[in-house]
Amino acid sequence: MIQAQHELLDALRQAAAETVPGHVLSLAFESPKQAAHGDLAITAAMQLARATKSNPRALAEQLVAALQRQPAVQRWVSGLEIAGPGFINLRLVPAARQAVVAEVLRERERFGLQPAHGQRVLVEFVSANPTGPLHLGHARQAALGDALCSLFATQGWSVTREFYYNDAGVQIATLAASVKARLDGLKPGDADWPAAAYNGDYIADIAAGFAARKTVKADDREFTASGDKNDLDGIRQFAVAYLRHEQDLDLQAFGLRFDNYFLESSLYSGGKVEATVARLVASGKTFERDGALWLRTTDYGDDKDRVMRKSVPPGAGATAGDGTQYTYFVPDVAYHLDKWARGYAKCINCQGTDHHGTIARVRAGLQAAGMGVPLGFPDYVLNKMVSVMRGGQEVKLSKRAGSYVTLRDLIDWTSRDAVRFFLISRKADTEYSFDVDLALAQNDDNPVFYVQYAHARICSVLAQYRDRTGDKGGAAGALERADLALLSAPTEAALMLELAAYPTTLQRAAAGLAPHDVAFYLRGLAAAFHSYYAAERFLVEDVALARARLALLAATAQVLRNALSVLGVSAPERMDRDHPTLALETTA
């Protein structure tokens, strides 16, 4: 069916060019909202009518006439119907739908993937400050960012996963002061406990490790504590390494590895912040006021100009290298200029919605720098925070973190698969409540269970087929020689259409930075399979029919695996559950 869709899309383009010569619209097929309306929908007539100020219904009639003259339409289409103001519903011949089964079984893991095209994309996500464990905002970014990376890989991009962390500035100074207070015997609630200190139990753990002169090792650093409670710089370095190690454990529990870690401190030590400031000053887009250095970000659409370098009170002693002299967006501009200089023309940042205010000023700084960075660079995917429900009550605190539930808490309470699937199942900019009880439920209400169970159910049927027929090759054996023309049931047609929608789903999800579309697709595919399973038997006496139906099941299992892997979720072959109505039924 993929071949049929490609040929039909070419036919649509030719017919549209014949109907409205010189048009520049991008044309595509859509899925009808109701199966009774056909297999594919065309809205091109209404698009072209708007562009040409024509009657859409009349233009649809001309477009249908042009389509009917196309050889691909004559080969793959059984009917064209005009509906409403100018919709064109297209019905495929059965062979077009059935072809997708053979395509999936032939391409397997490659089904839906586009060939490599040599372009690179850098996706920066999680990027947690090393001041505490990863919280649920980081968890959502981890799910979103990793899925985006997988999506772009399916579309032929060379993908780099990058973690940027602020190991300089006020928050790191606060971290060191918090650990120092613990080493001095203070604890939260004491009169002398610093007001801005971090209060979680992890601060006490860091202090104990430092006093014991332990060595901690993270993916990007290793440090041995001196044990001297007056060694503030040593405390800072040990605390950062300790928390980077803790974050590595969180990421490992999530099944996530980064290609590169980028340190904010390297922007200062490497002179990149100073070079960026010098470039912006030279551009003529800065000015001095009240002892501070400002950037004219209003020249680039920001609502007001922004401070770059803060005014420093006499005797304060701030220096350019300690991360406290410049406002937050200045090192961000330097960081993104570095991305551009590394050759990444496509960059995506997954961050919390609290970063919304920085987008305009960072992009303004990039434009003012005069390095040829395009407008709209980088792309942003902003996510709202996540709340957690457990036992019908919102969970707000974690003893380990002090004030929030951590990523590892959520994984420990449920599973990696549940955390990944649930956090990717809604648009990033919508609020989400993670229901721990639902994530543990073994029934149809649990979306990840519903999808994974579809795969396990198919695997059970295929195992029974192999046992009965001796075809140990499964889809690699007799199923690839199945007579797919026997797949004529309505539930089979619906399932094959879902399979055929997978490549387009990937393309649109990547283009729209919308990995939740893959989660939606998986639920739709699982629903189509479960309906098929309820309507038909598979290990029937008719050998040819059984083989055709098992080929469709094998193709469905393959696409389920492919799509789940994009989200970083496993596809189990067996599932244990207590729900009595979901036992693996005998299919003979």
| Contact criterion met (CB below 8 Å) for 161 and 145 | yes
User: How far are the Cα atoms of 260, 383, 468, 547, 588 from residue 541, in angstroms, in the given order?
Assistant: 57, 53, 12, 10, 9
| Contact criterion met (CB below 8 Å) for 475 and 564 | no
Domains (range + CATH), the chain: 2-92 (3.30.1360.70), 125-269+384-440 (3.40.50.620), 270-382 (3.40.50.620), 447-582 (1.10.730.10)
In single-letter form, the type of residue at position 427 comes to K
Cα–Cα dist 453/31, whole Å: 26
Q: Which residues face 90 on adjacent strands? A: 40, 80
Helix, strand or coil for residue 347? strand
What's this model's pTM, rounded to 2 decimal places? Answer: 0.87
Handedness of CA 388, 389, 391, 394 (dihedral sign): positive
Q: DSSP character for 185?
A: T
Cα–Cα dist 319/306, whole Å: 20
> Which residue, 425, 418, 413, is CA-closest to 439?
418
Q: Digits of tens for pLDDT over the chain (588 positions)?
A: 678 888 999 999 999 999 989 887 888 888 777 777 788 889 988 888 888 888 989 989 999 999 999 999 999 898 999 998 899 998 899 999 999 999 999 999 999 999 999 999 999 999 988 888 888 999 999 999 999 999 999 999 999 999 998 887 788 889 999 999 999 999 999 999 999 999 888 999 999 999 999 999 987 789 999 999 999 999 999 999 999 999 999 999 999 999 999 998 899 999 999 999 999 999 999 999 999 999 999 999 999 999 999 886 555 444 444 456 888 899 999 999 999 999 999 999 999 998 888 999 999 999 999 999 999 999 999 999 899 999 999 987 654 555 678 899 999 999 999 999 999 999 999 999 999 999 999 999 999 999 999 999 999 999 999 888 776 544 456 788 899 999 999 999 999 999 999 999 999 999 999 999 999 999 999 999 999 999 999 999 999 999 999 999 999 999 999 999 999 999 999 986 533 333 334 343
> Which residue, 168, 199, 184, 194, is CA-closest to 230?
184
Task: Enter the tokens of residue 233.
Answer: 């710089």
| Contact criterion met (CB below 8 Å) for 305 and 298 | yes
> Which residue, 246, 233, 130, is CA-closest to 180?
233
Cα–Cα dist 386/432, whole Å: 5
